[in-house]
Amino acid sequence: MADKKPYFRKRGLIRRLARTFLKIILYGFLFSLFYIVLCKWVNPPITITQINSLITGSGLHRDYINYDEMGVNIKLAVLAGEDQLFPDHNGFDFKSIQKAMKHNQKSKSLRGASTISQQVAKNVFLWQHGGYFRKGLEVYFTFMIEHIWGKKRILEMYLNVAQTGNGIFGVESASMHYFKKASKNLSRKEAAMIASCLPNPVLFTIQPMSARVAYRYPWIMRQMNNLQADPDIQALLQ
């Protein structure tokens, strides 16, 4: 009769590993839930992207401000440029995702379809780039902040943590750096210029003005004119 001890030892090891793995998932979920709820009222002390900015020598320039301290123009410009359906979706714009997938299959130039909610999930809790694993976590955090934070807090967080230049984070720091004024005093043109750099603020520079910013900010201004009368947008801007 063959010795069954190695078999039972192997099964015991698998069970212990499985229990350990489940504990890690459970503790990770509880910690993430605690941090998500905390960030509903408290701004994150630092993010992975900001840490990377410090490590690479770009520095860290940011100024967290409250939602009511942010000007209407910068809120409207970001909505117009990044996510015009933000008040209406549940965190995911599935039509834009399908369009982006079709475009990326046919073209070498990649097109993104991340909503503001998804960008906040990535910017606050995760890291830039990454594959399916990070995307899976992004879906989880997007779902959670949509249900726990609400739209105004998500937009407020986005305007505070989004990278707006090399080592510059948030619209207040961007406004002070580029235009020497608080974000609540930005003109529509200045707000549109900041919003136009958001897809890649290191490459799409405001000063000196890159071709991308020069082309895109007039388009954002036209979209602002189209969006401003929308009741859902108006409710969000207040």
Domains and CATH numbers, the chain: 17-237 (1.10.3810.10)
Per-residue confidence at 113, pLDDT binned at 50, 70, 90?
A: low
- The tens digit of pLDDT for each residue in 66-94 reads 999 999 999 999 999 999 999 999 998 87
pLDDT at 172 over 50: yes
SS3 content of the chain, % helix, strand, coil (to 5): 65, 5, 35
Collapsing DSSP to helix, strand or coil, 63 comes out as coil
Q: Report the predicted TM-score, pTM, of the whole model to 2 decimal places.
A: 0.88
Distance CA 215, CA 213 (A): 5
| Residues 6 or more apart whose Cβ sits within 8 Å of residue 108 | none
Q: What angle do CA 148, 152, 153 make, to 5 degrees?
A: 50
